[in-house]
Chains A and B, each alone.
Chain A
Amino acid sequence: MIAQQIINAVSLGGVYALLALGLAIVFSIVGLINFAHGELMTLSGYALLASLVLGFPFPVAVLVAVSCGALAAVAMERVAFRPMRGASVTSLLLTSFAVSSLLKVVFQNGISARPQAVAMPSWMTGAFSFGDFTIGVGPSISIVVSALALIALEVFLRRSVTGTAMRAAAEDFDVVRLMGIPASRIIATAFLLSGLLAGLAAMLWVAQRASVDPLMGFTPVLKAFIAAVVGGLGSLPGAVAGGFLLGIIEVLLQATLPGAIAPYRDAIVLSGVIAVLLVRPQGLIPAVRAQRS
């Protein structure tokens, strides 16, 4: 039982970590909390559905869906956020809300207000048994994919020139520009990475939910925001830590709370978040540099 719940917690935490990381990457570079991040997930979900309906084999469909998420993020930056570059935090925030609402309505009216079932391959609903307990294929994939994505991102940021430039930009963007690195490239790359992470998270999310709907982006972006804040806004290791912490707390509470208190689970989780922020106002692992406005 306990081992099983730990797997559940790590699996959920991994997805939250991917989501929070997507928000944090963009925030660390441009100081924008992109609330339309959830709609990138929705878009990837619909792209997966469309590819499957068109008869693409499952791996190809996943590839198409994740690329759609990444490209959409770049397009979103180009269309909505680039004209707002240098604007105040509030303006950027409002822009991201506007993009989010707009996309939701487009999905609702253009596709359907009703959730669409996504038929996951049957092997994904399977489970393997180890003696006493069983691990579902879904949660296992979740854990493996999250781990691989986090490692790949770490390698990219440490070993590549663009990655190094991005880490530097997070600390001091002006100096990076003085080094002759184009700002647009750095920002576009940040959005591309956040879109890739949104796409991957969407695949894991949809695999667990078996449907996509126009409003599915709302909950994940909210969780990601909480995770990113708890971890330390703009700090990448912080986002990962915040994501895992949130996932673990949620699963543990769901598993242990007695029936009468269970409905207050979300309230308890959020109280926990407040407690963490009271002790560490900058988050678990604060960003290297205090955020610019």
Chain B
Amino acid sequence: MPSLYRLHRAALCAAVFGIAAISTASAEEIIIGAATAQTGGLAPYDQPALAGLRMSLDELNAKGGLAGKYTVKLLIKDTRSDTAQTATVAQELIDAGAKIMITPCDADPSISAGQLTQPLGIPTLTLCGSAPVLTGAVGDVMFGTYPADNVQATAVADFAVSEGKKKVFLLTSPDSTYTANLPEYFGKVFETKGGAIVGRGTFSMGQPDFSAEITNIKGLADKPDLIMTAAYEPDFPAFIQQLRGAGVTIPVYGADAIGTPTIKALGKLVDGVVYTAAGYAEPGSKLEAFNAAFTKYAGHAPESTYEVNGYEIGLILDQAVKTAGSDNPKAIRDAIAGLKDFEGITGKITYAGTDRMPLRPVALMRYEGGEGKHVQTLIPDAADVPAP
């Protein structure tokens, strides 16, 4: 709205004084394209993250835009959680003049959008895609924003080892990078630190029935004391419901994708389940203040830490444009890649020296009595993190 108003005023000026004042009015606008899922399986992840991003961009625009200078015009298009559709809308956004691209919370669609932005040098940030192979698969314009899968898995494995867990069963699905690799990263760290993998099982995403897999787990000669999986909705509720229904009480650990209201609402069923988050709102923390501000902004409390992660993307872009001193995509990309110890809401965020998957803290959480309880927050030792 403000930019439209300014345009009117500029046109009026031009008419009255006969000078071409248009250029000063439109030059300071930067278009950010968001190819994100509003429908389909990724929507529950993309929507909260996008809400956080919108909030930060609204706040920045109120202060003049990115670096106080470039008013952001956020163009949002629905990918319908479809990889091919993501490429289509990404192209539309590029054609509309996007200088920065935001992509969905998953590796595959993000890579398909990245194939289009890479040759043009448009910096591309995934909302909460966390597969560490994601940035390498595209190239130097692609950035992750959420703690990477191998980092999360290392944090969970460190915790499991510290609890004295010795034997793990890994449940994976080849259907997505996240569900296929995260438990395997866990397995690598767990084995290095003295644990053993006693079994592996697979599932197809959307599969109705886990009974055969569960019977296999029950029949293992070497009983696991932990099941690690990256299954999420709706597979995770189905798995744990059927697991507990079959009388198996082995603890189940997962990662960020089960830190959602749906899983929390399962109540007693998920007691003891450990998961990760991008941060934990301790009293007096910046995150607590953010949560309050978000509640005011959106009319409801944040569902997870995807909101704050989206918000931080806005802050990262603001900082990058400040450093770059222009709205040149190449300069913005370089500035993001050079970020070191940037003070976000959840802690320090560093891109410098990484494969464009940020180094940032991981919060470990555990469900107890229908609530997510904070266990600890840590940045795993980089030497422990397995290679993608």
Q: Is the CB of A114 within 8 A of B262?
A: yes
Q: Is the CB of A210 within 8 A of B237?
A: yes
Q: Is the CB of A255 within 8 A of B262?
A: no
Q: Is the CB of A134 within 8 A of B237?
A: no
Q: Which residues of B contact A1 (CB under 8 A)?
A: 215, 219
Q: Which residues of A contact B234 (CB under 8 A)?
A: 115, 209, 211, 213, 216
Q: B295 an interface residue at 8 Å Cβ cutoff?
A: no
Number of interface residues of B (CB under 8 A): 45
Q: Which residues of A contact B39 (CB under 8 A)?
A: 105, 108-109, 113
Q: Is the CB of A215 within 8 A of B40?
A: yes
Q: Which residues of A contact B44 (CB under 8 A)?
A: 112-115
**Interface residues, chain A, CB within 8 Å of chain B?**
1, 4-5, 8, 11-12, 15, 105, 108-109, 112-117, 119-120, 122, 124-127, 129, 134, 136-139, 205, 207-211, 213, 215-216, 218-220, 223, 247, 250-252, 254-255, 259, 262-263, 265-266
Residue ID in chain B nearest A219 by CB atoms: B206
**Interface residues, chain B, CB within 8 Å of chain A?**
38-41, 43-44, 47, 174, 200-202, 204, 206-209, 211-213, 215-216, 218-219, 233-234, 237-238, 240-242, 244-247, 260-269, 303
Partner of A209, one of B38, B218, B237, B263: B237
Q: Are A250 and B43 also in contact (CB < 8 A) when A122-B268, A136-B247 are?
A: no
Q: Is the CB of B233 within 8 A of A213?
A: yes
Q: Which residues of B contact A205 (CB under 8 A)?
A: 208
Residue ID in chain B nearest A138 by CB atoms: B245
Partner of A11, one of B41, B211, B238: B211
Partner of B237, one of A126, A127, A137, A211: A211
Q: Is the CB of A5 within 8 A of B237?
A: no
Q: Which residues of B contact A208 (CB under 8 A)?
A: 208-209, 238, 241-242, 245
Q: Is the CB of B245 within 8 A of A124?
A: yes
Q: Are A114 and B233 also in contact (CB < 8 A) when A120-B241, A129-B247, A251-B209 are?
A: yes
Most chain A CB neighbours (cut-off 10 Å) among B246, B266, B303? B246
**Extra contacts besides A11-B211, A125-B245 (20): CB < 8 Å:** A12-B209, A12-B211, A108-B40, A114-B44, A115-B234, A117-B262, A117-B263, A117-B266, A119-B266, A125-B241, A125-B269, A134-B247, A209-B234, A209-B238, A210-B237, A210-B269, A211-B237, A247-B209, A251-B211, A251-B212
